[in-house]
Amino acid sequence: MTTQSRSLRLADCLSRAPFAWPGGYPLYAITNDGAALCRHCCHAERLSIATTTGDDGWNVVAQAVNWEDPDLLCDHCGSRIESAYAEG
């Protein structure tokens, strides 16, 4: 599997199913440079993700649940990524 197809697969998976099941915990994407991407950016920036060079900030390598970080922000759009347990 290429970097691009893996990256796109993870992003598509996240924009289609942004909450972990079971439990409904909010998911976000992690890029290879350690940035967080919210589900909205995974959808809106699909083309960038699909054509990542691998080190341009759009290489999605994993998805994760935001358990309790109330200050976790998307590194692209700056919006807050919901957390499972933190207030607000």
Binding residue (CB under 5 A) for Zn ion from 63, 74, 82, 83: 74
Residues 18-57 that bind Zn ion (CB under 5 A): 38, 41
| DSSP-derived 3-state class of residue 29 | strand
Binding residue (CB under 5 A) for Zn ion from 11, 31, 76, 82: 76
Question: Nearest approach, Cβ of 22 to Zn ion (angstroms)?
Answer: 25
Question: Nearest approach, Cβ of 9 to Zn ion (angstroms)?
Answer: 19
Nearest to 19 by CA among 39, 36, 1, 37: 39
Q: Which is nearer to Zn ion, 51 or 77 (CB)?
A: 77
β-pairing verdict for 60-65 and 36-37: unpaired
Q: Which is nearer to Zn ion, 47 or 77 (CB)?
A: 77
Are 48 and 74 spatial neighbours (Cβ–Cβ below 8 Å)?
no
**Longest distance between any two alpha carbons in the chain, whole Å:** 39
Name residue 35's amino acid.
Answer: A
Residues near Zn ion (CB under 5 A):
38, 41, 74, 76-77
